[in-house]
Amino acid sequence: MVNLKVVLSVIFLGANLSAQDARKLQDSFIKVGEEVGPAVVTIGIKRKGASQKNPFSTESEFDIGSGVIIDNQGHILTNEHVIENGEELQVILSNGQKYHPKIVGRDSRFDLAVLKIAEVNLTFVKTADSDELKVGQWCIALGNPFGISRKAKPTLTVGVVSGLNRSLPRSKGGKYYGDMIQTDAAINPGNSGGPLVDIDGKLIGINVLIFSTTGGYQGIGFAIPANLAMRIARSLIKNGKVDYGWLGIRVADLAETEVKDGVRGAIVETVMEGSPAHKAGVLEGDLIYEFNERHVRTSTDLIQHVLITPPGEKVSVKLRRGDQDKTLSITLEARGE
């Protein structure tokens, strides 16, 4: 009888602890919504030509996207495709206040844009180090899917980081979707440009697209890592454009049958004479598998790593030439338009 009491006590104690942990987790989600929500904005876009009607909005001529305030000067980060072909833009804060924003700059390669509104000292999101993300950690997506919130208060959905370093095919518009964060937090049309944050409410990514056969959420969404997004944003704010790094090579993916010892990477097809790669000794046929301490699995990985590295920076490149591994030091130059 004593043993039964002990067992029952342990069971009930465990149940109580689980309930307490669940409430603490729930409180964490609530806190994120309260603290980050005011930094999330709805972006209304009146596009050139026909525009999709939003059944949840009285302003049905406006398409809906999301964005996030990133500093106390009124700068807003969103996706470039959100404002693409927009002839009139509107930013709506979570309190319903409306503004006509200025476009500070846009980057079509990485699908990012920065807007600015004539308001300062607003709530803005703090940024985490997205290079430290782990698969399985909690993440929270905020935005205005389908324009459901008429008062622009963001929707909050919860999931986990379900994958990292996802490289997607280059879009027809020339956008690079490499090194993406994959999440199962519900993301739908209208969430684009909104923040993906961690359990502490810090920005880890900008929601950009979903994988779907129906046009709606099917459990797989993608976000641009915060480190990349903020690097692009800072450059747009400072210069109105982004200076891309240039290596001076053409690369292709390594065929599966060519993979040896599990080493994947980008195979060098052409080295341009006089380019940074040429000066450093890169040769055709070299297999680049690491760039500046970041793994290279595909040609898209390498292209993105190079593009986001500022011109003039010296980088370390690891490659395999035949049966030998080599490490080269290369100083990148500016990529021309």
Instruction: Indicate which residues carry an active-site annotation.
Output: 81, 111, 192
E strand or H helix that includes residue 246: strand 245-246
Q: Are 187 and 145 in contact (CB under 8 A)?
A: yes
Task: Characterize 317-329 residue by residue with b for buried, 16 or more Cβ atoms within 10 angstroms of its Cβ, and e for exposed.
Answer: bbbbeeeeeeeee
The structure tokens listed for 29 are 């989600």
Q: Which of 110, 173, 276 is nearest to 268 (CA)?
A: 276
- CB-hemisphere CA count at 13 Å for 113? 26
Contacts of residue 245, Cβ cutoff 8 Å, sequence gap at least 6: 306, 307, 308, 309, 310, 311, 313, 332, 333, 334, 335
User: What is the distance, to the nearest Å, from the Cα of residue 92 to the centroid of all Cα atoms in its chain?
Assistant: 22
The structure tokens listed for 79 are 């996706």
Q: Are 91 and 43 in contact (CB under 8 A)?
A: yes
Q: Could you give the CA distance from residue 279 to residue 90 in angstroms, rounded to a whole number? A: 49
Q: Could you give the CA distance from residue 177 to residue 301 in angstroms, rounded to a whole number? A: 9
Q: Could you give the CA distance from residue 201 to residue 184 in angstroms, rounded to a whole number? A: 17
